[in-house]
C-alpha cells in the first residue's frame, strides 16, 4: 500500500482478498478498476460525496483506472467504451485481464458495495450505483 491516504482502503482490500481468494496486490488492482468505473461513470456529485467517506478511494481509482484492457481505445472494446455499456464492459474486461473469474468479479462487487454501505450509508450507495448502467441492480 502506498501512502497513508491508502491506509483506509486496506480493510476493504482485506475483505476482497477473503471473499475472492485473490492475493492483496491483485485485490488492490481490481478494487482500483471498480472505483475508477464508479468515478468515471457515476453521478459526479454523489461520487464525490461517496469518495469523501472512503479515504483513499479517489487515489486508488486514479492509479488503476488506465491499466488493463481497453487502453488506447482500439478494437471493439474501444468502440464500446464510448457507448452506454462502455464503462461496465470495459471494467469487466480489465478485471478479467487481471485474472479474475466472473465469480470473483461478483464477490469483489458485493464486498465493495457492502463496505461502502457501512462507511457512507445505504442511500448514498444506492444513488451512486443507480446512476451507473449495469450497477443499478446491485444498489
Query: What is the average pLDDT value for the chain, to the nearest integer?
Result: 83
Nearest to 138 by CA among 21, 120, 116: 116
Q: Cβ atoms within 10 A of the Cβ of 11, count?
A: 12
Q: What is the pLDDT of residue 7?
A: 61
CA separation for the pair 46, 77 (Å, rounded): 27
**5-26 pLDDT, tens digit each:** 456 799 999 999 999 999 999 9
Determine the distance from the C-alpha atom of residue 1 to the mean position of all C-alpha atoms in its chain, rounded to a whole number.
Answer: 17
Give the domain CATH number at 59. Answer: 1.10.490
Domain that holds residue 121: 5-138
Q: What is the pLDDT of residue 139?
A: 66
Backbone angles phi, psi at 35, to 5 degrees: -65, -35
**% pLDDT > 90, the chain:** 68
Residue 95, pLDDT above cutoff 80: yes
**57-81 pLDDT, tens digit each:** 999 999 976 544 333 344 444 444 4
Total structural domains within the chain: 1
Report whether 93 contacts 68 (CB < 8 A). yes
Residue 122, pLDDT above cutoff 90: yes
Amino acid at each position: 500500500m502506498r501512502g497513508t491516504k491508502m491506509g483506509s482502503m486496506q480493510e476493504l482490500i482485506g475483505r476482497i482478498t477473503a471473499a475472492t481468494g485473490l492475493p492483496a496486490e491483485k485485490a488492490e488492482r481490481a478494487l482500483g478498476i471498480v472505483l475508477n468505473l464508479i468515478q468515471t461513470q457515476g453521478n459526479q456529485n454523489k461520487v464525490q460525496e461517496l469518495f469523501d467517506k472512503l479515504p483513499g478511494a479517489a487515489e486508488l481509482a486514479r492509479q488503476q483506472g488506465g491499466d488493463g484492457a481497453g487502453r488506447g481505445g482500439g478494437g471493439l472494446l474501444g468502440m464500446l467504451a464510448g457507448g452506454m455499456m462502455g464503462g461496465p464492459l470495459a471494467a469487466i474486461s480489465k478485471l478479467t485481464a487481471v485474472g479474475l473469474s466472473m465469480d470473483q468479479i461478483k464477490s469483489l462487487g458485493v464486498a465493495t458495495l457492502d463496505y461502502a454501505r457501512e462507511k457512507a450509508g445505504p442511500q448514498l450507495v444506492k444513488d451512486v450505483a443507480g446512476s451507473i448502467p449495469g450497477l443499478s441492480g446491485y444498489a
